Amino acid sequence: MLGLLVLSFAVWGVADIFSGYRGTDVAEVGNTPITIDEFRSSLQQEIQQVSRQVGTYLTMDQARSIGLDNRVLGRLMAEAALNDEAKTMGLGVTDAVIAESIRKDPAFQTPGGQFDRTYFEQVLRSNGFSEAGFVYQQRNVLMRQMIAEAVGGDVRAPEVLEKAIDRFRKETRSAEFIVITPAMVDTVPDPTEEQLRSYYDENKVDFRAPEYRKVAILAIAPAELANEIEVSEEELKASYDADPGRFGAPERRTIERIVFSDAAAAETARAEIADGKSFEDVAAELGLTEDDRKLGTLTKDGILDPAIGEAAFNLEIGEISQPVQGTFGPVLVRVTEIVSGVNKTFEDVRDEIRIDLATQKAKDQILDVYDAIEDDRAAGMTLAEIGQKQGLPYREVEAIDSNGLNPEESRVSGLPESPQFLSEAFATDIGVEADPLQTRGDGWAWLEVLDITPSRDLAFEEARDKVAEAWRADETRKAVEAKAKDVAEQIRGGAGFFAVAEELGTTSGLVGPIARGATDGPFAAPAVQLLFTTPEGEINATAAAQAPQRVVFRVTDIDIPPFKPGEAEEYTAEIEDGISNDLLSQYLQELEKRIGTLINQEALRVALGESSL
């Protein structure tokens, strides 16, 4: 319930509802302040959490670009509004209730469900809390929950809404169809010069040269530093001797087993096999198929039952073990195939070990190189100067667009392996120091924008080939659309899908039952969307398939399963959460108007590091 509070102020935004507050706090909601330190701490926690989710650390600029600062401020203000209201209402929570809530928190319990005070203290320390500070925060949380539950708790989803959502999710449709392709229409003739120029004038915005940037790049990676790192012979040998098996492939065996109800039955079966009865016959008498008796082709360590593993790896191919007491009862074991293991000698893997150890050492050293580069940048050196000083690879990309292409529309190779590289290159400017980027394999990259070539309209002569290509594609699309409408009219006039398909030299198809949101062959998302808006029995010729194809279809069946309240539980909770969220949002909106909300823009800039007090 408390998590829903984030949406209130965060959804409304904060930029247009504050003015005139000039204190030393970031904001004040009623009589409850939000301090600079409180905002900074919450924002850093949010950045760290999102960074873990996306797999790379977000800079402050990146965090602000996706609205994390507004989200945090919105949450803090929602909490402050409820804290202020709790004080006004005289709400309180006893120490006993707080203690019980902490004891029941799974985050502080052992696997057996018991509260662990030692672990509780460790968690608090790791998150920068004192026990008194955490208890104070928990008291406020519980008071906010009291108000939230009073406003939006115990909501029941209306059955009419459950039925509507149930129908929307479970309805399926079927259709017969024909795919209309460019091969079914006349070839588009070559355009005249007048047609091309007219098309160019009407679609000039589509024929622009993108913005290009000249970028300097300095990058380091453990693999590159590893080439310069010495690894002693003693280190190499010690690494190999620690676990020689990791450099080869262990022996694997294909194993079968028969499990018996007791030891006597296993002994009897083994004796019968010794007298000539086959392993397969014994299994068949117990009602076991070939699949039932197969265990798989496994390594010794891969067999869950150690007793079976020990027995199997002491047998020859085709040999049957004596009764073995397995985990699930007495068993007879047979090996049907042996795949020999491969053991590599030290000399075989010497170079591999050297690379691994050198790379590991490089990872330890790379932070020293990182610090040296940052020191040089702080001293005003360019990346070219730093690369020469530090002996690191430096390059300049003469022209690259935001998609990573050069002016010849080929992909620029050798760029740093960072998902943020292109966005950062086009977010910064000439002379602006960009943040370093973490790259794949624990490396780092730095970039400088050296020059910018603005986007521009291409002259007709420059764009002529692209204009001709686009014109042909557009004319082909129009021809396919016209053919699809003509086919639809034939079918509406009484022609069958099969007959029309045969005339076109293709085949008709059937789709469904298909659910909303699914796809099936030519029925891509746009076609499925139209399928669910077309009445049963009607023809639709506007469904897009893979461009420039069209799908002509007729809805043959609409299936709506009967509503069963017990089966709606999967989304009933979503409905109730949504209603609760609406109630809380409205309540907080009115609460904000009543108690008043102010913001200190200067303090906010200080908290964000844009200025100092």
What pLDDT score was predicted for residue 612? 58
Task: Report DSSP state, residue 332.
Answer: E
Same domain assignment for residues 140 and 24: yes
Q: What are phi and psi of 343, to 5 degrees?
A: -115, 120
Percentage of residues of the chain with pLDDT beyond 90: 26
How many domains, the chain?
4
| Domain boundary, last residue among 412, 440, 456 | 456
Q: What are phi and psi of 564, to 5 degrees?
A: -125, 105
Same domain assignment for residues 45 and 180: no
**Cα 579 to the center of its chain, rounded Å:** 28
Q: Which of 233-237, 454-458, 479-483, 578-582 has the lowest mean pLDDT?
A: 233-237
What pLDDT score was predicted for residue 10? 36
| 480, part of any domain | yes
What pLDDT score was predicted for residue 112? 62
pLDDT band at residue 611 under the 50/70/90 scheme: low
| 166, part of any domain | no
In angstroms, the CA 74 to CA 18 distance is: 12
In angstroms, the CA 215 to CA 396 distance is: 6
In angstroms, the CA 397 to CA 450 distance is: 10
In angstroms, the CA 545 to CA 552 distance is: 10
**β partners of residue 216:** 396, 448
Same domain assignment for residues 197 and 83: no
pLDDT band at residue 55 under the 50/70/90 scheme: low
Q: What is the pLDDT of residues 486-525, one digit of tens each?
A: 999 999 999 989 999 999 988 888 988 999 888 888 888 8
What pLDDT score was predicted for residue 21? 44
Given a cut of 70, whether residue 477 has pLDDT beyond it is: yes
Pairing mode of beta strands 456-457, 208-209: antiparallel
Least Cα distance to 39 among 9, 70, 67, 1 occurs for 70
Q: Which residues have CB under 8 Å from 48's CB, separation 6+?
A: none
H-assigned helices in 66-187: 68-89, 95-103, 117-126, 131-152, 159-170
What pLDDT score was predicted for residue 128? 67
What pLDDT score was predicted for residue 8? 38
| 354, part of any domain | no
Domain hosting 297: range is 249-339
In angstroms, the CA 423 to CA 412 distance is: 15
Same domain assignment for residues 401 and 541: no
What pLDDT score was predicted for residue 13? 36
Q: Answer yes or no: are the C-beta atoms of 366 and 444 closer than 8 Å.
A: yes
What pLDDT score was predicted for residue 545? 67
CATH of the domain at 255: 3.10.50.40
In angstroms, the CA 386 to CA 389 distance is: 5
Q: What is the pLDDT of residues 542-570, one digit of tens each?
A: 767 677 888 999 999 999 888 877 666 66
CATH of the domain at 114: 1.10.4030
| 161, part of any domain | no
Same domain assignment for residues 12 and 96: yes
Same domain assignment for residues 330 and 288: yes
Q: Which residues have CB under 8 Å from 281's CB, separation 6+?
A: none
108 residue type, one letter:
F
**β partners of residue 509:** 177
Q: Which of 41-50, 118-127, 276-285, 410-419 has the lowest mean pLDDT?
A: 118-127
Q: What is the pLDDT of residues 411-463, one digit of tens each?
A: 999 899 888 889 889 888 898 888 888 888 778 899 999 999 999 989 999 99
Same domain assignment for residues 8 and 144: yes
**β partners of residue 444:** 220, 438
| 360, part of any domain | no
Task: Write down the mean pLDDT value for the chain.
Answer: 83
| Domain boundary, last residue among 456, 489, 513 | 456
Rounded to the nearest 10 degrees, the angle between the axes of helix 36-54 and helix 68-89 is: 130
Same domain assignment for residues 10 and 149: yes
Percentage of residues of the chain with pLDDT beyond 70: 91
Cα radius of gyration rounded to whole Å, the chain: 35
What pLDDT score was predicted for residue 232? 77
The H or E element that residue 338 is part of is strand 329-339
- Look up the pTM and report it: 0.50
More confident residue, 510 or 368: 510
Q: ∠ at Cα 499 (494, 504), nearest 5°?
A: 115
Same domain assignment for residues 309 and 416: no
Tally of CA atoms within 13 A in the half-sphere of 597 that contains its CB:
25
Chain position carrying tokens 């194993």: 255
| Domain boundary, last residue among 339, 357, 381 | 339
What pLDDT score was predicted for residue 111? 61
What pLDDT score was predicted for residue 465? 92
Q: Which of 256-265, 360-369, 434-443 has the lowest mean pLDDT?
A: 360-369
Least Cα distance to 91 among 9, 47, 40, 146 occurs for 146
In angstroms, the CA 221 to CA 444 distance is: 7
Q: What is the pLDDT of residues 328-337, one digit of tens each?
A: 789 999 999 9
Given a cut of 80, whether residue 400 has pLDDT beyond it is: yes
More confident residue, 144 or 51: 144
Q: ∠ at Cα 585 (583, 587), nearest 5°?
A: 70
pLDDT band at residue 346 under the 50/70/90 scheme: confident
| 165, part of any domain | no
| 356, part of any domain | no
| 451, part of any domain | yes
Same domain assignment for residues 79 and 20: yes
Rounded to the nearest 10 degrees, the angle between the axes of helix 193-202 and helix 460-492 is: 90
**Encoded tokens for 528:** 């499925």
* Per-residue buried b or exposed e for 538-567, using 16+ beta carbons within 10 Å of the residue's own CB: ebbbebbbeebbbbbbbbbebeeeeeeeee
Least Cα distance to 167 among 535, 558, 574, 528 occurs for 558
CATH of the domain at 450: 3.10.50
Same domain assignment for residues 582 and 536: no
Count of residues making up the chain:
613
Q: What is the pLDDT of residues 185-204, one digit of tens each?
A: 988 889 999 999 999 999 99
Task: Report DSSP state, residue 115.
Answer: B
Same domain assignment for residues 444 and 480: no
SS3 of 230-279: the string is CCCHHHHHHHHHHCHHHHCECCEEEEEEEECCCHHHHHHHHHHHHCCCCH
What pLDDT score was predicted for residue 11? 34
